[in-house]
Structures are given as structure tokens and as C-alpha cells.
Amino acid sequence: MPTKVIVDTDTGIDDAMGCALALKSPELEVLAMTSIFGNVSVELTTENTAYLMELLGRADIPLAVGAAGGLVEKPRFSPYVHGDDGVGNAGFPKATKVKPVARSAAQLIVDICREHPGEVTIIALGPLTNVALALAIDPDLPKFCPRVVWMGGVVYGKGNVTPVAEADAWHDPESAQMVLQQPGWSVEMVGLDVTERCVIRQEHLDALIASKAPAAQYVAKITPFYMQFYSGVLGEYACAVHSALTVAVVAQPALVTEAVDLPIQVELNGRHTRGMTVADRRLGATNGGGGADWRDVPLTRVPTEVDFEAFRKMFLERLTS
């Protein structure tokens, strides 16, 4: 039985890879796609998501427009990472068959989770604003949607947008804190601890280029821009595939070979640390021994090791089929 999912996405390059993988994975039943600001504006992430859905023949799935900015701050974009359009300046046309529904992303999340109580996993590939707004609409949401898997944060490594903050947490720390602190929600934070080590290289790009499959051709066209940026980060012509790995661990949980459960809070005020996902790794922290400020913090699951080779094999097989 496929896992029912809602994919909440700020469709830039790696997010497009994740969306394509979700739509091509038989283990997942995608009930909805929801857009969110992040890598680029929500207008562009919506257009990018709609085009990809249409390209892959999934006009049957509802698409809803989400938040244009965080709960507190205005959005800040980085076109040098994903291109002005979010997909490597690829010049794709606008979708003609996929149009957003009238409901907001947050309302659609609530409605679908209530239609399928206890069955839906939210895969959040961007800032958590839509999920937080859904929670504001329906505080009982965790009763109907038991699991959130988020591409965001970092525990053991460095940040990617500041020395300590990962981009999706940094874009809207208030929403991330709201979701991570929600009692009764099972949250898995697939962060930079694993995603920055999950890279594809020229050999993998060549396999995509050689395929005639629409998903492969699409990803092959947008990836060189991303690899060019990441060359300066990784020291080689390659790129991290953050969002695709996040989707993959929902489709195939066995890809995660090691994980820890930790109390995590998101820094909201620090001048240099805003957006940092602060994990209490002290002895006794996971059983309420961390002190008053941490005693009631829910545990968040953090993958620390993944079978990267198995992921890459899955990723290429799905996109080239």
C-alpha cells in the first residue's frame, strides 16, 4: 500500500529533483502539491511545480499556492544558487493544463489530512510556513496527520546560508520552531548532516542526459547551473540533492541506516545564530534531564547515516524510466 503524501515545495533545482522523484515513486501516492517561497518567490515556485506536474502527466493532482514569506521576515532569495527562475534559467514554458486550486496551501493541507485521517505524511522541502499556517487553522492537525518529514536544519555540521543555519530553517525560524515544538507530531528532520554528503556527479548527469524519459531530460537541463554553483562549495563538479534524498527516505525508509532522536529548538533571536536548529545532545537530554527550558521539548528524529549508493541507484532508475 503506497504511503499517502502531500509534497510542500519551494521548487528550485534540488526541490524539482525531489518532486520528480516523488511523482515517479510507486511507494508514494501524492495527494497534493503545495508551493512555498524559499529558493525563489512563491509565484515562481508555483509555476515551476505546475510545469513539472504537467510534464510528468500528473495534472490530476491538486496544486495550491502557499505563503509568500515567513511569519515575521520578508523573503530573501539567492538567484546565484538556483537561477532567476529557480530552475537554472532553463526557460521552460508555463503550464497550460495544471492550474492552482482556489484554496490556500495551508487549507488544502488541513482538508486532505482530515479526509484521510492518520494516513498522510507531509513531505516539506522548503520553509515550514505552510505547515505552521495549517496548524494555526487546525490545532488538532497532528491527530489527523501523524508525520512530517522535513528537508531542513542541521545538528552536527555547519549551516549553508549562515555559519550555523540551514536555509529552510533560516527562511522562517518561527514556523520551524512551531512545528518542531508541536506535541504529538512525529517530525523527522532530514538535514544537512546527510543531504550535504549526498551528491551526484558528472557520471550521474550523463546518465540523465542519455535518457529520453521526460523526468531525466528535465533534471538534466536544470542541474548544470546547480553543479556550477556547488563546484565552489564542494571543490568538484557535483551537487547535493537535498530534497530528493528527503523524498527517498519516505519512499524507502531502509535507506536511513543510522538516526538519533533529539530535543531540538530553533533559535529566533540571535544576531549571528537566527535559524540555527539547536539540538540538546547532553547525557539525559532525551528523557527530560536537560533542564527547565528543554524538559518538555519533543524529540525530533535526525538521520545521521544513509545508504547513498542505494539512493543514487534508485534516483537514476526512477528518473530514467
Active-site residues: which are they? 10, 242
Closest to 260 in 3D by CA, of 231, 289, 280, 232: 280
Q: Tell me how far CA of residue 194 lies from CA of 120, 140, 189, 243, 306, in angstroms.
A: 24, 31, 10, 11, 7
Yes or no: say if 263 and 155 are a contact pair by the CB < 8 Å rule: no
Yes or no: say if 231 and 88 are a contact pair by the CB < 8 Å rule: no
- Other beta carbons less than 10 A from residue 310's beta carbon: 14
DSSP 3-state percent helix, strand, coil across the chain (nearest 5): 40, 20, 40
CA gap 13, 179 in Å, rounded: 25
Closest to 224 in 3D by CA, of 244, 204, 195: 204
Take residue 155 and report the three cell numbers written for it: 545538528
Burial classification of residue 72, based on how many CB atoms lie within 10 Å of its CB (0-12 exposed, 13-18 middle, 19 or more buried): exposed
Yes or no: say if 16 and 117 are a contact pair by the CB < 8 Å rule: no
CA gap 101, 122 in Å, rounded: 19
Q: Which residues pair with 63 in a beta bridge?
A: 33
Query: What are the b/e assignments for 172-194, b being 16+ CB within 10 Å?
Result: bbbbbbbbbbbeebebbbbbbbb
Q: Which residues pair with 301 in a beta bridge?
A: 188, 261
